[in-house]
Amino acid sequence: MDGGNVRFSVKNLFNVEGWVCVVTGGGTGIGLMIAQAFANNGARVYITGRRAETLQTAAKTWGASLAHPQGKIIPITADITDKASIQNLAQEIAKHEKHVDVLVNNAGIDGSTSTVEKGDESAQALQKELWNEEVLMWESVYRTNVIGYFFTTVAFMPLLSAATTRGGGHTGSVINISSISGVTRTSQHHYAYNTSKAAAIQLTQLLAQEMRRPGVKVRVNSIAPGIFPSEMTTEGSNEQNKSSIPVDESYGEKKGIPAGRSGGEEDMAQAALLLACNQYIYGQTVIVDGGYLLAHP
Ligand SMILES: NC(=O)c1ccc[n+]([C@@H]2O[C@H](COP(=O)([O-])OP(=O)(O)OC[C@H]3O[C@@H](n4cnc5c(N)ncnc54)[C@H](OP(=O)(O)O)[C@@H]3O)[C@@H](O)[C@H]2O)c1
């Protein structure tokens, strides 16, 4: 009888003890929040990025005093815009692990912005503003936010599938960090970023279809965050690789966020654990935005 009830304990429902996770861009911001969520619950988490020092700081600062004795944060440098580097990453991890339970495609960039309000002046003024956007900027945003997610997933496909076939009661899964910017109908002054994030949501659905096949059996989902503190959304990060967004009483109203604040580390951690552990969620995008999209549909 007891067993029937114990199954419902949070510890059991969100058990990632002994799991292997890979979080791209895991040294800062949202990626670090997710890495900490898994590592503090007993997973070995490989964090990747281009800056070795940033990754080492994250691993030293946050990996040394984890809440679970089996947890680990392991830094490995890799550039997700470079196929050879992605392949090297998967091969390095394969030397130490027989499977990867969760791949979090999180590493992303935002590119530059344009003043779209120029359209209030004239078509010519808006045209001039938007024409100034660089093709190279668009390409580099897509190269990271879409193409990088695609090839990283493909590189880890056999290791993710191995997490399913080893019979631990869960499938390997991929979590793509997209954005509410890929859902809202406003450009938010960055067309390249917003269209790349919409593409990441579509990529999630396409990969979910592809990888549900009997020979692969890997779930693919996405988290679309609202505004979270990170190097991308603030001036950078402190000596612990953490960023903060000052929030006063009028913040929620000014930004149109019913929750009245920016996203917190626990908000992101809960969403990542949900998609990793719930075995019945396939091809979905979970929006974690404090209600932002209700005000900015
Ligand atoms: N913060 C938000 O409000 C928010 C909202 C919605 C979505 N997002 C998404 O969340 C994800 C994480 O961003 P963040 O906000 O946490 O910003 P962040 O702190 O700047 O994190 C991005 C991370 O990605 C890494 N990265 C960038 N390009 C890379 C590449 N080519 N190869 C490997 N790693 C790379 C960066 O490390 P290196 O520079 O060392 O490579 C950095 O650690 C992004 O996909 C972003 O679009 C963020």
Structure confidence by residue, pLDDT tens digits, 184-210: 999 999 999 999 999 999 999 999 999
Residue among 85, 177, 238 whose CB has most ligand 1 atoms within 8 A, to mutate? 177
Q: What is the pLDDT of residue 186?
A: 95
Answer yes or no: is 3 within a domain.
no
Domain total in the chain = 1
Q: What is the pLDDT of residue 235?
A: 87
Strand spans (E) along 82-143: 102-105
Q: What is the pLDDT of residue 9?
A: 97
Structure confidence by residue, pLDDT tens digits, 60-100: 999 999 999 999 999 999 999 999 999 999 999 999 999 99
- For the Cβ of 265 lying below 6 angstroms from any atom of ligand 1, the answer is no
- The sign of the CA dihedral 211, 213, 214, 215 is negative
CA of 232 to the centre of ligand 1 (A): 7
Catalytic residue numbers, as ranges:
178, 193, 197
Task: State the average pLDDT over residues 235-242.
Answer: 96
Answer yes or no: is 124 within a domain.
yes
Q: What number does the ligand 1 atom closest to the CA of 110 have?
A: 47
Q: What is the pLDDT of residue 156?
A: 99
Distance CA 148, CA 145 (A): 6
Answer yes or no: is 1 within a domain.
no
Answer yes or no: is 11 within a domain.
no
Q: Which residues contact 273 (CB under 8 A, 6 or more apart)?
A: 14, 16, 37, 38, 41
Answer yes or no: is 28 within a domain.
yes
Q: List the residue whose alpha carbon is closest to atom 36 of ligand 1.
A: 25
- CATH number reported for the structural domain that contains residue 265 in this entry: 3.40.50.720
Answer yes or no: is 6 within a domain.
no
Structure confidence by residue, pLDDT tens digits, 249-293: 999 999 999 999 999 999 999 999 999 999 999 999 999 999 999
- For the Cβ of 125 lying below 6 angstroms from any atom of ligand 1, the answer is no
Structure confidence at residue 2 as a pLDDT band (50, 70, 90): low
Looking at the DSSP assignment, which residues form a beta bridge with residue 173? 102, 219
Prediction pTM value: 0.98
Answer yes or no: is 63 within a domain.
yes
- For the Cβ of 227 lying below 6 angstroms from any atom of ligand 1, the answer is yes
Task: State the average pLDDT over residues 105-129.
Answer: 97
49 burial (CB, 10 Å; 0-12 / 13-18 / 19+) is: buried
Structure confidence by residue, pLDDT tens digits, 12-55: 999 999 999 999 999 999 999 999 999 999 999 999 999 999 99
Answer yes or no: is 9 within a domain.
no
CA of 154 to the centre of ligand 1 (A): 20
Task: State the average pLDDT over residues 117-124.
Answer: 97
Burial annotation 254-288 (CB, 10 A radius, 16+ → b, else e): ebebebeebbebebbbebbbbbbbbeeebbbbbbb
Domain assignment of residue 260, given as a range? 16-294
